């Protein structure tokens, strides 16, 4: 058996192992949720409405089944792309007619990304207009959905095509440090996108208006002042135009930083509860969680590019998937396709760190607001309104959840609020 055949079998094994693990975890969680479906869990009795809890159970089970179907479909598509020969065929057609310039290769890579997105559209449509609609979350129209998908496609092409050209021009895997220069270029591009996104990209999809004068605005500004957190703007986003789910986030860097509140969040929480939620978000900044996560992402990207540069020089890696060595573009494509499989096995570690950050931000919020009960009340309302799963299996939540469960957060705040 050749080296190429061994690599092909190992990769196929990893892809199938990922699918089997994901299906096992989903089944484990489904059985656990069903076992606790009859009544509201004891810690939440009197706090969560029984009808809302029953609806949350069915929503969780519906998402679970849909997730299993999409996992199987995505795996079949991935295996087809890797082993059917369709990608080497398309690559040969592009190189024969357009050559192997960075412009041509970037067009090839972006075309594959766009085609994959088109394949996913039926599932996206079902999730919005069937699953979310059934449980009362969807407020989007078909026209809005189609417009959003067109904007996303055009934005993908407008951003990724020139970025691809730059990366391919810099990325010479046969140069000792070519991967390092590409890393520096990508880091700079990411910083630019973070700065321009709030101004040029986000308004393409949502309307942002200044938070009106009143109790909430005064509370938010007073909170930011107490925390020593400079904020340039406080804006409200029309999230209700598409969904009844709610959220709040910070965007921008340095003096361009601003707070964004979903209008649905403002409708669901009282001003004191919203203050507690925002105190939690401010906690992430004050406790340096954001730079830690950015640094981790940068290190991960660096390792990823180094690995591409190594395998781009290995002819057996190319031949395992039907390509001939000679250009870095196929290596970039293959790594992009296999990225989800690799990241999947790292999720428990990454999410463990994320959950520890969430606990720390909760404690920060409880301390600066002075009333842990406000944050607990806000979290309870958000879990109820969003039909969140109150009884995930511990292994499932430990693997997938970037946030602690509601019960874990509630107990931590009650035992050690500050």
Give the strands of the sheet with 233-237, arranged side by side.
Answer: 208-210, 233-237, 258-262, 248-251
The tokens for 54 are 């029953």
User: From CA 9, how far away is CA 15, in angstroms rounded?
Assistant: 10
3 tagged catalytic: no
CATH architecture of 208-275: 2-Layer Sandwich (3.30)
Asked if residues 406 and 388 have their Cβ atoms less than 8 Å apart, the reply is: yes
Of the candidates 197, 399, 193, 184, the one whose C-alpha atom is nearest the C-alpha of residue 301 is 184
281 tagged catalytic: yes
Name the catalytic one among 71, 148, 281, 373.
281
Q: What is the pLDDT along the chain (418 residues), one digit of tens a residue?
A: 788 888 889 999 999 999 999 999 999 999 999 999 888 888 888 888 889 899 999 999 999 999 999 999 999 999 999 999 999 999 999 999 998 899 999 999 999 999 999 999 999 999 999 999 999 999 999 999 999 999 999 999 999 999 999 888 888 766 678 888 899 999 999 888 888 888 888 898 999 998 888 888 888 888 888 888 877 778 899 988 899 988 887 777 666 677 888 989 888 989 899 999 989 989 998 899 988 988 999 999 999 999 888 888 888 889 999 998 878 899 999 989 999 999 999 999 999 999 999 999 999 999 998 888 899 999 999 998 999 999 999 999 999 999 999 999 999 988 754 4
**Size of the chain, expressed as the number of residues it contains:** 418
Domain assignments of the chain as residue spans, ordered by start: 3-204+287-415, 208-275
From residue 162, how far is each of 105, 149, 356 by CA, in Å?
Answer: 11, 20, 38
User: From CA 185, how far away is CA 192, in angstroms rounded?
Assistant: 11
User: From CA 4, how far away is CA 11, in angstroms rounded?
Assistant: 11
Name the catalytic one among 132, 275, 362, 383.
362
> Please, what's the b/e burial string for 365-376 (b: 16 or more CB within 10 A of its CB; e: otherwise)?
bbebbeebebbb
User: From CA 329, how far away is CA 105, in angstroms rounded?
Assistant: 6
The span from the first CA to the last CA of the chain, in angstroms, equals 61
């Amino acid at each position: 058996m050749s080296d190429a055949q061994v690599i092909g079998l190992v990769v196929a094994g990893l892809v199938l192992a990922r699918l089997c693990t994901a299906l096992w975890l989903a089944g484990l969680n489904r059985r656990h949720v069903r076992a606790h479906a009859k009544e509201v869990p004891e810690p939440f009795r009197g706090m969560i409405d029984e009808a809302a809890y029953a609806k949350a159970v069915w929503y969780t089970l519906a998402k679970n089944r849909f997730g299993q179907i999409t996992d199987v479909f995505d795996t079949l598509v991935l295996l087809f792309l890797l082993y059917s020969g369709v990608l080497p065929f398309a690559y040969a057609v592009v190189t024969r007619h357009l050559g192997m310039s960075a412009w041509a290769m970037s067009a090839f890579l972006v075309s594959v990304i766009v085609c994959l997105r088109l394949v996913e559209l039926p599932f996206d449509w079902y999730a919005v207009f069937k699953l979310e609609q059934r449980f009362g979350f969807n407020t989007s129209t078909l026209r809005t959905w189609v417009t959003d998908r067109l904007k996303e496609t055009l934005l993908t092409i407008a951003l990724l095509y020139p970025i691809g050209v730059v990366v391919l021009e810099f990325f010479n895997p046969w140069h000792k440090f070519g991967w390092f220069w590409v890393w520096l270029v990508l880091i700079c591009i990411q910083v630019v996108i973070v700065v321009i996104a709030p101004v040029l990209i986000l308004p393409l999809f949502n309307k942002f208006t200044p938070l009106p004068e009143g109790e909430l605005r005064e509370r938010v500004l007073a909170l930011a002042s107490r925390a020593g957190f400079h904020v340039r703007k406080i804006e409200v986003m029309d999230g209700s135009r598409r969904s009844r789910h709610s959220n709040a986030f910070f965007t921008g860097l340095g003096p361009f930083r601003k707070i964004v509140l979903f209008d649905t969040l403002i409708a669901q929480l009282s001003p004191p509860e919203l203050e507690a939620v925002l105190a939690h978000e401010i906690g992430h900044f004050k406790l340096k969680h954001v730079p830690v996560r950015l640094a981790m992402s940068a290190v991960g990207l660096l390792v990823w590019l180094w690995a591409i540069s190594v395998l781009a020089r290995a002819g057996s890696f190319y031949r395992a998937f039907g390509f001939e060595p000679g250009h870095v573009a196929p290596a970039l494509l293959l790594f992009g396709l296999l990225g989800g499989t690799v990241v999947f096995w790292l999720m428990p570690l990454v999410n463990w760190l994320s959950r520890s950050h969430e606990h720390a931000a909760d404690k920060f919020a409880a301390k600066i607001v002075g009333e842990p009960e406000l944050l607990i009340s806000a979290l309870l309302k958000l879990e109820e309104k969003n039909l969140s799963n109150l009884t995930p299996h511990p292994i499932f939540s430990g693997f997938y959840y970037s946030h602690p469960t509601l019960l874990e957060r509630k107990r931590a705040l009650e035992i050690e609020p500050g």
